[in-house]
């Protein structure tokens, strides 16, 4: 049984911000294992917030919040800024930031606020014919730095730094576009290391860029591939870099001294196309791929993760761990939870 809570809605706009002063939500009061409806294009991202709640972003059906045994579904119809959610982040004040196909949306726990990033020109032979899914106004990654600035990685326009009032664009011309000579930088991942440096990945042949607060340094030749999907800071402070596997690739590692190729397929890695990386509370690394099964690395060996009946899970886009140490992972086909013994499919038709 679904209960619809309808509240009075009013909207005001100020400058580049549009504020929604109320919301209306759908609640599913299940008392057992909560099952999410499967979005048309599946799940794209997830977050464990500071209060222990889980958030899952979908492509086309907004964002889902799991709170206890009930879920809330926020959609554009019910005041979310967009139904296409590409990333989720939480700032130090507890605000949630949602990257969408058209800018970013901030949620303070009660109200949604749309933050419009500067518009970028999208026309080029490369964008229109070679890689038409690129959208420079789409936010693919979000990170708050130690000074409270928000960084938004885009799908073609590099990265924007937002100080709460204005935007500054960086890294827009790092990517190498061979087909038409124009430059567009796709930043899928931003991570802060233990020294406060920011790492930005480039999915347009730009390698990784590292910002120390004053200047950027760029690395391409040091990597096994310059087509980078994800950077991840592990519990020891190492930076793991997952490549697209376009040329060679694999799972690269920066150990504070040097870049080195950590693992490739001939070392047991299921694929050189690494899409997601997560270290659990036991120090194991979960690695999702763009074209191969989810695998686990225990520090010595890789193994393909299998479900209760031996099934494998391909093309995993995101992985996270909840407060009870359950592992959640998802893709366009569904969402799953692993409690250490059993895998539960968390979606239903």
What is the separation of C-alpha 62 from the centre of its chain, rounded to a whole number of angstroms?
A: 15
Sheet holding 295-297, edge to edge: 274-279, 285-289, 295-297, 302-304
Residue 108's closest CA among 82, 147, 131, 79?
Answer: 79
pLDDT at 125: 44
Compute the distance between CA of residue 188 and CA of residue 202 in angstroms, rounded to an integer.
7
Cβ atoms of residues 53 and 70 within 8 Å = no
In order of 132, 163, 294, 339, 343, the CA distances from 331 in angstroms are 21, 32, 11, 18, 15
In this predicted structure, what is the pLDDT of residue 257? Answer: 86
CATH class of segment(s) 1-116 = mainly beta
HEC secondary structure over 68-79: CCEEEEECHHHC
User: Residue 99: CB partners within 8 Å, gap ≥ 6?
Assistant: 85, 86, 87, 88, 89, 138, 139, 140, 141, 142, 152
Cβ proximity of 229 and 242 under 8 Å: yes
- Local structure of 230: helix, strand or coil: strand
Predicted local distance difference test score (pLDDT) of residue 184: 64
pLDDT at site 176: 57
Encoded tokens for 61: 């059906």
Phi, psi of 267 (to 5 degrees): -100, 0
Give 135: exposed, middle or buried? Use CB within 10 Å, 0-12, 13-18, 19+.
Answer: buried
Structure tokens at 239: 């930076």
Total-model pTM? 0.86
Contact 188, 200 (CB under 8 A): no
Per-residue model confidence as pLDDT tens for the chain (349 residues): 333 332 222 222 333 444 443 333 444 444 346 688 888 889 999 999 999 999 999 999 999 999 888 899 999 987 899 999 999 999 999 999 999 988 999 999 999 999 988 876 544 444 454 454 567 789 999 999 999 999 999 998 899 999 999 999 999 877 655 454 455 689 999 999 999 999 999 988 889 999 999 999 999 999 999 999 999 999 999 999 999 987 788 899 999 888 987 888 888 888 889 999 999 999 999 999 988 999 999 988 999 999 988 999 999 999 999 999 999 999 999 999 999 999 999 998 6
pLDDT of residue 121: 58
Q: Is residue 39 classed exposed, middle or buried when 0-12, 13-18 and 19+ CB atoms within 10 A define those classes?
A: buried
């Amino acid at each position: 049984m679904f209960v619809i809570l309808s509240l009075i809605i009013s909207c005001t706009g100020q400058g580049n911000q549009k504020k929604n002063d109320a919301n209306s939500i759908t609640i599913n009061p299940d008392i057992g294992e909560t099952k999410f409806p499967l979005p048309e294009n599946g799940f794209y991202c997830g977050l464990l917030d500071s209060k222990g709640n889980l958030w899952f972003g979908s492509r086309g059906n907004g964002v889902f919040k799991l709170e206890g045994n009930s879920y809330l579904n926020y959609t554009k119809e019910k005041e979310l800024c967009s139904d296409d959610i590409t990333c989720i982040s939480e700032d130090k004040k507890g605000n949630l930031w949602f990257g969408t196909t058209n800018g970013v949306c901030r949620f303070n726990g009660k109200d949604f606020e749309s933050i419009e990033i500067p518009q970028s020109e999208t026309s080029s032979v490369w964008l229109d014919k070679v890689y038409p899914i690129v959208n420079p106004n789409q936010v693919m990654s979000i990170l708050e730095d130690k000074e409270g600035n928000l960084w938004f990685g885009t799908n073609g326009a590099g990265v924007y730094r937002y100080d709460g009032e204005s935007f500054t664009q960086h890294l827009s011309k790092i990517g190498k576009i061979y087909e038409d000579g124009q430059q567009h930088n796709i930043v899928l991942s931003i991570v802060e290391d233990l020294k406060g440096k920011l790492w930005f990945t480039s999915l347009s042949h730009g390698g990784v860029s590292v910002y120390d607060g004053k200047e950027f340094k760029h690395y391409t030749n040091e990597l096994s591939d310059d087509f980078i999907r994800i950077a991840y800071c592990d519990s020891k402070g190492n930076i793991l870099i997952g490549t697209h596997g376009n040329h060679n690739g694999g799972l690269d590692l920066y150990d504070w001294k040097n870049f080195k190729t950590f693992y490739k397929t001939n070392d047991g890695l299921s694929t050189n196309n690494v899409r997601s990386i997560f270290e659990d509370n036991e120090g194991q690394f979960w690695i999702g791929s763009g074209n191969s099964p989810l695998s686990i690395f225990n520090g010595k060996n890789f193994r393909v993760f299998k479900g209760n009946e031996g099934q494998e899970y391909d093309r995993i886009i995101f992985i996270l761990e909840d407060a009870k140490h359950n592992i959640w992972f998802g893709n366009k086909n569904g969402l799953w939870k692993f409690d250490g013994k059993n895998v539960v499919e968390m979606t239903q038709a």
